[in-house]
Amino acid sequence: MGIIGKQSTRTVFFSYLGTGIGFLSVGILYPKLLTPSQIGLINIIIALSLIFGQLGTFGFTNVINMKFTYFRDKNNKHHGFPFLMFLVILAGAFVAFLLIILFKDLVIRQNVEDSILLYQYYYLLIPASFAVLVYNIFDAYSRSLYDPVVSAFYKEFLFRVFVLILIGAFAIFTFPFKWFMTFYMLLYAMPSMALIVVFYRRNELNLKPEFSYLNRNLVRSMANISIYALIGGFGSIATASIDKIMINKLLGLADTGIYSIAFLFGTVLKIPASALSKSSYGIIADAWKNNELGIIKAIYHKSCLNQLIVGLYLFLLIWLNIDYLFEYLPEEYSKGRYVILFLSVAQLFNMATGINSVMLITSKYYRFHTYLTGILLVALVITNLIFIPLYGISGAALGSAITLLLTNIIRYGLFYIKFKMQPYNYKFLIILLIATFTFFGCLVLPKTNNGIIDAMINGVFITLIYGTFIIVLNLSDDINSKLNDFYQYFKRML
């Protein structure tokens, strides 16, 4: 997939490297050094900051995704576009600050007894939300400049390295938790500030305005996109965060913390999909602009195929080793088992439907994304209200899974009806059969009763059996080509 493949590979590299570090800090050290309530506090602050920060963008991130292609001209300082970005950041920071102050009582109402930590640390939402606002703007900017790797490096990798150092220092020096939270918020803001510095040094942040470039039609189009994106973006962030918020409200911070740890493991599958989406925004937006439907169809098919292959491999590794994972976590975290299952299945389905979200957001049907998000947010709230009382944190994961499945089915239907885009063929069935064979083959392997050794045996078996069939049958030209590149590289090194 050309530049998309190269950028997504690099983004995935830093994301998985960061995820490995995140597992060590958040998945292993957090449960041993912090209480479930303290872990819940960190995650509820992040969840709320994502909502307030998204509101502060005024939907401008989608303006960047769709309209920067009309401004892109480095020699002419992108016709004043960076100036518009900073205007949005300043206005958005003010609005987010007001919302945090005005909605304090509403946010913590009925939660003071169970979530006293949230009451004590509520105002950390201000720097956290500002960090989210700035990062969202510059992350979209980096995608439009065909460089999503830089934002992934700081957010997915370097931030997690520093968090690991912080939790290690907390274990060694046992300083007060309030210091930990203060340092954590400073680290949380680091990726945003780093992106500003990076793009300034690249001469991509000239703040000279060029209002003469903004004709009436362009301004009207940008405003229209922004309004719909604000609503849709809020819905998307709310959909991603509402489960933690509702668990905190219905079950308390302790269960929120347990859910957050399980959520981390359950969403490992989304990393390749997120990387591919970031890498494809600029290309897809340009293709829609030039009416190059053939390019979009080809990327759509390849994204579905490659992500299904990678997703099934990761799912097999996670679920077939789930018992060994919980051996190393405190007993109370075992209730997160089916959270991991439901979220993993949902993310697997999400990967199998490719970059349909990017295609929809950057297309002329972007309004439909807003309507769809609103409907699904309501559905998610309803399913959580039904399933959380019945099944606890597993119910929240089930509600999220149902919502994600429904979202992708509707997107698939839209592109099939409007553009006759159907990305699937016989190869997808073969991939599913290989995964099924590998799954049951792994179940009958002899066990040593040593978790680490058995997990390693499972991993080797899955890699050899699943990987060999995928490669030998040449089910993905992109994967085989990438592996051949690696082989040639190492061959030259020898």
Residue 269 CA to residue 158 CA, distance in Å, equals: 20
Grouped pLDDT means (10 residues each) for the chain, 494 residues: 55 64 76 83 85 84 77 75 87 90 76 65 90 88 78 83 90 89 91 88 79 78 78 66 77 78 73 66 77 87 88 89 79 83 88 86 79 81 89 88 87 88 92 95 87 87 92 86 71 61
For residue 192, how many C-alpha atoms fall within 13 Å in the half-sphere facing its CB? Answer: 18
Return the amino acid letter for 151.
S
∠ CA 373-26-240, nearest 5°, is 5
Burial letters for 262-288: b for 16+ Cβ neighbours within 10 Å, e otherwise? bbbbbbbbbbbbbbbbbbbbbbbbbbb
Residue 244 CA to residue 180 CA, distance in Å, equals: 21
Q: Please say whether the beta carbons of 245 and 47 come within 8 A.
A: yes
Structure tokens at 155: 């957010």
Among positive and negative, which fits the CA dihedral 389, 390, 393, 395? negative
Q: Please say whether the beta carbons of 21 and 157 come within 8 A.
A: yes
Instruction: Identify the DSSP state of 392.
Output: T
Q: Residue 58 class from Cβ within 10 Å (0-12 exposed, 13-18 middle, 19+ buried)?
A: buried
CA 342 from chain centre, in angstroms, equals 17
Q: What integer pLDDT is reported at residue 13 of this predicted model?
A: 65
Straight-line distance from the first to the last Cα atom of the chain, in angstroms, rounded to the nearest whole number: 29
Q: What integer pLDDT is reported at residue 277 of this predicted model?
A: 64
Q: Which residue has the tokens 């983004």?
A: 11
Residue 456 CA to residue 437 CA, distance in Å, equals: 19
Structure tokens at 229: 């994106």
Q: Which residue has the tokens 């305005």?
A: 209
Report field, pTM of the whole predicted structure over 0.85 = no
Domain residue spans of the chain: 3-424, 429-494
For residue 202, how many C-alpha atoms fall within 13 Å in the half-sphere facing its CB? Answer: 16
How many other CB atoms are found less than 10 A from the CB of residue 294?
9
Name every residue whose Cβ is closer than 8 Å to that of residue 176 and which is 6 or more positions away in sequence: none
Q: Residue 149 class from Cβ within 10 Å (0-12 exposed, 13-18 middle, 19+ buried)?
A: buried
Closest listed residue to residue 342, CA positions, set 323, 371, 318: 318
Residue 107 CA to residue 426 CA, distance in Å, equals: 50
